[in-house]
Every structure is written in structure tokens, then in C-alpha cells.
Structure 1
Amino acid sequence: MTGPLDIRTAPRQDAHTARPLDAGTARRRYVAVCAWFWLPLGLTIAPLILLFTERGMAMAGIAGFFAAHSLTAAALELPTGGLSDVLGRRAVLACAGALNLIALILLGLGTTGWLLGLGMVLMGAGRALSSGPAEAWYVDTVHAGSGPGADLRTGLARGSSATSAALAAGTLLGGAVPWLIGLGPGLGARLSGATSGLVLPLSVPLLLGAAVEAAFVLYVLTALPEPPRPAAALGDVLRGIPATVAGGLRLGGRDALVRRVLLSTGAVGGALAAIELLTPGRAAALTGASESGAVLFAALACAGFVCSAVGSHLAPLTARLAAGGERAVMVSLGAAAGGLLLLGVTAAFTGAASTVLAGVGYGLVYLGLGAAGPSENDILHRRVEGAGRATALSVQSLALQLAGALTGLIIGFLPSDSPSLPWLLGGAALLAAALLWIRRGDQRTGIAGSGRP
């Protein structure tokens, strides 16, 4: 007999859930989930900071909003990864979408600092909840239907490509919609007046994103079947989370390959932080005005996502040409390091040639990172047991975010009269990560933490 606080996580026993999905169907649904989840977040990239400004927020307040988002995501990464391993992938992923839906509504309609801050906190919580369940569901489903030796890299690559493509499309759409509304004579003013200032042209992309999030939640609940899980009381769920978190933290110490994946992910986080912090100012300096610089930055961001999608799509081919996933990671991170170093070298110069080389370097960074990701995750999934898979992905995401935050702090203290230095430091970090993979990895077929040979 169960009490009122018991949580029933086992899905209904029918033909749809009793038989595992085939690999092709699981791959298509995983790709769709990646695209549906990241499209709304892409819609916020172009208008969000401008919307905060329109709401009367100072730059200090805006920085505080983003800090609240990052700190919330970092603090919840491991606990929510453990929650996914205990409760199930589908429930946690749907909860992530629901939190993002509420967050986007608050950000789109909020007019006070506390509402906007709450929206960013909820978005950070949704980001933490999402950092493993979809991929863990895909790997679990493929293993259940085709065995642990089934190909994962192709599906992971396509999911990563779909993520980048959705972010690119969302960035363009999020920037274009307010501009198109502004083309209509007085349309923006009428929209604001009709809603008593709640809905501004810059709010519309976020509200569109909320509608997409609603569709995402429905898709997750209906299209991602899971094998039955035993019913768990609330106390058992809460007691199970620390154990899975502790297991996640021990992963890097037990397995050399997992440790390399985590260190490489940290280097990638530092590189991305450098690009995101430095590119807007460089774009504004290139165009001569902040407004035109913002447009250039949006175009560059979109191009970066496209390059990342292409790199992810080429990941299986890269692994074949490099004769293995580990060498593919080394080559891909080396290419990304070369791009970042090229950005550093050109930062001290002006002129058309320098601008073209910087553009090539920017694209090379994202192409290399896109190609490295699927091979890294393929290695990770082959070293980690299914019961801790989402936790392992959360540890990986935590490494990315913490390294990015630390890099941001370091860049803030670097002398402003050395424009190349931050770029070169980021490139050096990526180069060091690539060198980690020169040594051949542990060739044992055992799984980290399993105790099996």
C-alpha cells in the first residue's frame, strides 16, 4: 500500500512502451527533441538584452540577471542529473520545457526587475534539467533495442546538428520579427498600447518561444516512451539523488578517458566564454557603432551555429578518417584551437585581410567544436553505466559552465591594452585539450564504475 506522497513513474504498459523503438525511430525523435528544445532559446539571443534595456534595466542589473541564470544552472546541474536517473528522462525533460515556458512568458511580459530576475532563474533551472535527459533517453533506447555495441555517434552528431541549426534559425527569426513589426506604420506602438505596455515588439520572439515550448512539452510526453521504472516514494527519490551525484563526481577519478572528456569540455567552456565576451565588442569596433555591431554579432552568431552544425554532421566521417573517436577529438579540438589562435593574431591588426582571416578563424572554431562533441560524448556513453548516464552528462555540463565562468573572470582582469591576449589564452586552453588525446586511451571495454573487466 502506498501513501499520498508516492510517485508513480512507470509508464502505462501497452504495445508502444513494451517494445523498444528501433534505432532509426529513436534517432529521429531525439533529433526532433533537440530542435524543439533549442529553437525557443535561439529566439531570445538577439532581442533579450535589448528588451531588458527597453524595460529600463541598467547594465548592472542585466549582468545580474545573467549571473542569476548561470549560478542557478551550475548549482542544479548535478542534483537534476541525479533526478533524471532516479525518476526518468521523460518526466525531467518535460519539466525543463515547462520551466522554460514560464520563464519566457515572464521575460516577455515582465516589467519589473524581480519578475525578469525570476524569469532568468527559472530559465537557468530549465537549462540544468535539460542537460542530459534527452541524450540519455536516446542512448538507453538504442541500447535496449540494438544492444550496447550499437552505433551512437551518428545519432549524437545529428542531434548536435539539429541543436545548432535550431539556434541559428532562432537567432535569425528572433532578430527579424521585431524589425518586421517595426516596418508596419505604428504597429509597434499599437501593440504596446493595446497591451498597456506589456507586449513590446522585442517581446514577440520570446512569446513565440513560449508557444514552441508548449509544443515541446507535448511532444516529449507523447513521443519518448521509456521502459517501466519501479514506483518510488518521495523519500526514496530524494535519498537516491545524492548517491547518483556522488557517482557522477567520482567518474573522472575512476576512468582516464572520462577524465579527458571532462577536461576537454572545460577547455571548450573557456573558449566559448572568450568568444561570447569578446566578439560583440570587436564587432562594434569593426562597424564603428554599437547598433550595427549588434547586427554583425547576430550574423556571426548565426554563422557560428551553422558551422557547428556542419561540424557535428561531419563527426562520423571525421572519426572514420582519423581512425577512431579519440583521434577525431584531437584533430577537431586542434582545428578549433587554430581558429581561436587566428582570432588572437588578427585582433591586433586592422584592414580587410585581417577581417577575412578573423572570419575564417571564427568559423573554424565552431566547426572544430561541432565535430569534437559527438565523438567525446560517444566515448563518454561507452564508459558510463546507464543508471548514471544523465548524471555524467550533468557533470560534463557543469565542467563547461564552471570553466566558462572562471574564464570570464580572468578576462575581466586582463589588461585592455593587449587585445590579443584573451583570444590567445583561449586558444592555448583548446590546444592543451587537444594534446590530452595524443596518448592512447584505456582500451578496456569495461564501463566506468561497473567493476567489470
Structure 2
Amino acid sequence: MTGPLDIRTARNRYVRVCVLFWLPLGLTIAPLILLFTERGMAMPAIAGFFAAHSLTAAVLELPTGGLSDVVGRRAVLAAAGLLNLTALTLLGLGTSGWLLGLGMALMGAGRALSSGPAEAWYVDTVHTHSGPGAELRIGLARGSSATSAALAAGTLLGGTLPWLLAFGPDLGARLSEATSGLVLPLSTPLLLGAAVEIAFVLYVLTALRESPRPRAALRQVLRGIPLTVVGGLRLGGRDALVRRVILSAGAAGSALAAIELLTPGRAAALTGASESGAVLFAALACAGFVCSGIGSHLAPLTARLAGSGERAVMVSLGASASGLLLLAATTASTGVGSMVVAVIGYGLVYFGLGAAGPSENDILHRRVASSGRATALSVQSLALQLTGALTGLIISVLPSGPLPWLLGAAVLLAGALLWIHRSAQPSPPAPTATPQPHAVTSSASTAASDPHQQHVDQ
């Protein structure tokens, strides 16, 4: 180590890590389900694959967050990249159900490992260079915008690359024949993503410098993880602002579950065919990521105009809830005017969530010490995933129409209302002095009344 990185360098490296990590996952959004179908998988099997992903991510979310706080951010991020590299290779080339299920489970493990370390590294680096009072929101906003841009670009590329190969001069047939059916046109975005994962791992290992952590035996490391996890869970009970951030993440998960589960069917019904509906959904997903990125970019301005980060979260989540209400109001109509209103509502959902995220995480990082930062982010991500899964189960039994959309809007509006009451005391910065090993501390006492990522988990 030659000294701490300056803020600009740390910010740029954090943005590059966000792009390199999320671009491969964006490449899978459009072709993945179609690839499973092409491999002969029935819908129950496909649902099982996604369940394997979600359950693996949920089970490992907190332990892997604790692992990052114990052994370091760089090692855990590199491990996440290697897991995603293996997963994308299996998904791109696998032809049997157990291989595809294993690939989805490994991708879930990589998702859990990646939840928090990059952002925790950025905040740690900025605090080391400029102290606990350093500005965080701009860097967090740029990282969130970069994530949205990478997902948008990946979605477009992942949707168009198989189409170009399939409709080119026998390119898809030649590719499949040359690889004995292992590589299909729909496989190419996943294999391209695997190549990007190699670049991600190399960049993480060479660019993310961090202070060496005390050497410890494997037994000590494993013993420290549960203590860190327990501390992360207790943090939400001790600190009202952290509790609001976690609950807001759950509300965002509910909204995302509604929009991601309901939009594909609505797009297919609008176009009259599942294939054209998939293309429309890919275009909408890309537009949603762009809106999320714009919202994240404008998060610092939103906080200034609103008067505080807390008010900015309330306004942003309220705007997102209004987008779901617009989608609910247009379910019964297929006219051009209703379509325009629905598209506006769709973009507003993502714009609001994107604008809320940096302010929420800025609040979180000022309440949590470095020793528990990744764990706190994992708790936030876990709330988003579990609430989203529960909302998805409820939506699956609700009748079609506005009611499922209204459920997501109601939960998100409740998340916005949490921020009406302000804390009794301003939040002091989280301490940067080295705390006791594996401890998670809060920098302020609980206030009178009682969070999103992105994670949003696409």
C-alpha cells in the first residue's frame, strides 16, 4: 500500500466495479427463460431454477456479508465473480436440468457474496482519506447510475445478439452444429457475460486496495461471522433510522416483485404473442434501468431540494408508488392514451426507486461502523428479497386486474410514510476507529419512531 486513494480515484474505481459486475447479469435478462425453454425445460422446472437462485441468495445473504466484514471486501468480491463465471458457463452450455439448477444456485451464491462489499470498500476508502464526515451521496449515486446503465446496456445487447445470430446467414445453425448443440444463439449473451466476469475478477484483485486485516485462523474467521451477523440483525432494533432503511428496502422489494411479475404478461397481451411481448418487455426493462440511473444521478439534487436525505427518501418512494398507481389505473384499457400513461408509470417506479437508493444508503453508512458495513447492506438486501418473494406469492393468487398493482403500491406508500417523522437528533457519522473484532455498532440512539438497493436484485 502506498497510502489511501483519493476520493476521485476511489469513486471512479467503484463505478467501474459496478459496471463490470452488473453488465454480465444484464446480459441474462432477455434470453435466460427462452434459453431454458429451448433446452426443453418445462415451466415448473424453470420456476424451480429461479427458486434455487432466490433461496440460495437468501440463505447466504447475511453470512457472506459477515464474511466480507471479517476477511475483507476484495477477496469476497473476487469470489463472487468466480461463482458468477462458473454459473454463466453452466447456464450457457448446460443441457440437463441439474446443471441448469446448479448454475442458478451458484449465481444466487454470487449475488449474496456481492451484496455490499463494493459499496463498503468505497465508503471505507473515502472515510480513510477524508474522515467520517466526507460526502458519500455523490459517489453512491454515480455507482447506482453506473449499475443501471450496465443493466440497460446488457439487456439490449442480450436481447439483440441472439436475434442477430438467429436471423443472420445461418450463423446460429452453424454455431450450434459446430458445438454439437452446446452453444445456441440464446447461449451467446451468457458466455459473453462469463468473459466479462474474468475482467471483473482481474480488476477487483488489482484495483481495490484495502488495508490489511489481522491474520486469523480459519476457525477464528468462521467464529467471527455469526457474531457479525447477530450484530447486524440487532442494529435495526437499536437504531430507528436504520430500521426505516431496512423497512424501505422491503417496500421496494414488494414494488419490484409486482412490476417484474406482471409486466411480461401485460406486454404479451398487448402485442398478441409471447415472442413480441418478450421484445417489448426487454425494451421496457432497459427503459426502466435508464430511469433508475437518472433518478440515482439526481439523488443529491433531490436531497438538496427536499431539505434532507430523509425527506428525499419520502418524496422518491412516494413518486415510485404513484407510478404503480398509474399502472393499476390503466389495466382495463388498451388505448393509446392508457399505454402512454402506463409507460410513464413504469418509468416513474424505477425513477423513484433510483432516487431513493443513494439517500437511504448515505443514511445507513453514517449510522454503521466499518466493521459491520457489509453486513448492514446484506440485511437491507435480505429485506428486499424476502419481501419481494412474499409479495410474489400473494400476487400469484390474486385475480388479474388492478388489485396486484395496488398491493405493490400500498406497500411502497407505507414505506414512504415511514419517513414523515424525523429523528430527534441529527445522525452523527459512523466511527472509523477500529472497533472490537467483528462488532457492529450504531452511532446514534433510537429515535421515537421508525428500507432498497438494487438491487435492486434483478
Work out whether 1:399 is the aligned partner of 2:391: no
Aligned residues: 435
User: Alpha-carbon deviation of 1:425?
Assistant: 1.1
Residue 258 of structure 1 aligns to a residue whose secondary structure is helix
Superposition TM-score, scaled by structure 2 size: 0.94
Counterpart mapping for 1:114-153 below 5 A: 114-153=98-137
Task: Give the aligned partner of residue 12 of structure 1.
Answer: none
User: Alpha-carbon deviation of 1:442?
Assistant: 4.1
Give deviations 1:392-416, integer Å, cap 9, x for gaps. 0000000000000000010011123
Q: Per the alignment, do residues 451 and 271 of structure 1 end up closer, same or farther by CA in structure 2, a change over 3 Å counting?
A: closer
Return the match for 1:449 from 436, 441, 451.
441
> Which ranges of 4 or more aligned residues in structure 1 deviate by more than 3 Å?
444-448, 450-453
Task: Give the aligned partner of residue 201 of structure 2.
Answer: 217
Contact 2:367 2:444 in 1 (8 A): no
Residue 383 of structure 1 aligns to a residue whose secondary structure is coil
Task: Give the aligned partner of residue 81 of structure 2.
Answer: 97
Once residues 442 and 174 of structure 1 are traced to their aligned partners in structure 2, the CA distance between those partners, rounded to angstroms, is: 48
Work out whether 1:420 is the aligned partner of 2:412: no
Give deviations 1:109-164, integer Å, cap 9, x for gaps. 00100000000000000000000000000000000001000000000000000000
Give deviations 1:91-118, integer Å, cap 9, x for gaps. 0000000000000000000010000000
Task: Give the aligned partner of residue 154 of structure 1.
Answer: 138
Return the match for 2:94 from 110, 114, 136.
110
Residue 174 of structure 2 aligns to a residue whose secondary structure is helix
Once residues 390 and 325 of structure 1 are traced to their aligned partners in structure 2, the CA distance between those partners, rounded to angstroms, is: 21
Task: Give the aligned partner of residue 338 of structure 1.
Answer: 322
Q: Which runs of 5+ in 1 are unaligned?
A: 1-16
Aligned AA (2:207): A
Counterpart mapping for 1:320-359 below 5 A: 320-359=304-343
Return the match for 1:257 from 241, 249, 268.
241
Task: Give the aligned partner of residue 448 of structure 2.
Answer: none
Task: Give the aligned partner of residue 453 of structure 2.
Answer: none
Give deviations 1:264-317, integer Å, cap 9, x for gaps. 100000000000000000001111111111110000000000000000000000
Task: Give the aligned partner of residue 237 of structure 1.
Answer: 221
Percent of matched pairs sharing the same residue: 81
Task: Give the aligned partner of residue 5 of structure 1.
Answer: none
Aligned AA (2:160): A
Contact 2:49 2:101 in 1 (8 A): yes
Once residues 424 and 60 of structure 1 are traced to their aligned partners in structure 2, the CA distance between those partners, rounded to angstroms, is: 27
Aligned AA (1:89): R
Q: Per the alignment, do residues 452 and 257 of structure 1 end up closer, same or farther by CA in structure 2, a change over 3 Å counting?
A: closer
Work out whether 1:31 is the aligned partner of 2:15: yes
Contact 2:26 2:150 in 1 (8 A): yes
Once residues 130 and 311 of structure 2 are traced to their aligned partners in structure 1, the CA distance between those partners, rounded to angstroms, is: 26
User: Alpha-carbon deviation of 1:451?
Assistant: 6.8
Aligned AA (2:383): A
User: Alpha-carbon deviation of 1:441?
Assistant: 2.0
Aligned AA (1:367): F
Once residues 137 and 147 of structure 1 are traced to their aligned partners in structure 2, the CA distance between those partners, rounded to angstroms, is: 14
Return the match for 1:270 from 238, 250, 254.
254
CA RMSD of aligned residues (A): 1.1
Work out whether 1:60 is the aligned partner of 2:52: no
Give deviations 1:40-65, integer Å, cap 9, x for gaps. 00000011111101110001100000
Once residues 186 and 375 of structure 1 are traced to their aligned partners in structure 2, the CA distance between those partners, rounded to angstroms, is: 50
Task: Give the aligned partner of residue 431 of structure 1.
Answer: 413
Q: Which runs of 5+ in 2 are unaligned?
A: 431-439, 446-458
Aligned AA (2:275): E
User: Alpha-carbon deviation of 1:88?
Assistant: 0.2
User: Alpha-carbon deviation of 1:228?
Assistant: 1.4
Work out whether 1:291 is the aligned partner of 2:275: yes
Contact 2:241 2:423 in 1 (8 A): yes
Contact 1:271 1:429 in 2 (8 A): yes
Superposition TM-score, scaled by structure 1 size: 0.95
User: Alpha-carbon deviation of 1:449?
Assistant: 2.7
Once residues 296 and 427 of structure 2 are traced to their aligned partners in structure 1, the CA distance between those partners, rounded to angstroms, is: 25
Once residues 194 and 163 of structure 1 are traced to their aligned partners in structure 2, the CA distance between those partners, rounded to angstroms, is: 35
Larger mean Cα displacement after TM superposition, 286-295 or 124-133: 286-295
Return the match for 2:149 from 140, 152, 165.
165
Aligned AA (1:431): L
Contact 1:257 1:442 in 2 (8 A): no
Once residues 56 and 34 of structure 1 are traced to their aligned partners in structure 2, the CA distance between those partners, rounded to angstroms, is: 34
Work out whether 1:311 is the aligned partner of 2:303: no
Return the match for 2:184 from 186, 196, 200.
200
Aligned AA (2:53): H
Contact 1:272 1:404 in 2 (8 A): yes
Contact 2:91 2:100 in 1 (8 A): yes
Residue 151 of structure 1 aligns to a residue whose secondary structure is coil
Aligned AA (1:349): S
User: Alpha-carbon deviation of 1:444?
Assistant: 4.3
Once residues 164 and 426 of structure 2 are traced to their aligned partners in structure 1, the CA distance between those partners, rounded to angstroms, is: 57
Aligned AA (2:391): T
Once residues 251 and 285 of structure 1 are traced to their aligned partners in structure 2, the CA distance between those partners, rounded to angstroms, is: 45
Give deviations 1:5-50, integer Å, cap 9, x for gaps. xxxxxxxxxxxx2411011100000000000000000000011111
Task: Give the aligned partner of residue 13 of structure 1.
Answer: none
Residue 232 of structure 1 aligns to a residue whose secondary structure is coil
Residue 33 of structure 1 aligns to a residue whose secondary structure is helix
Contact 2:77 2:114 in 1 (8 A): yes
Return the match for 1:369 from 353, 367, 371.
353
Give deviations 1:70-94, integer Å, cap 9, x for gaps. 0000000000000000000000000
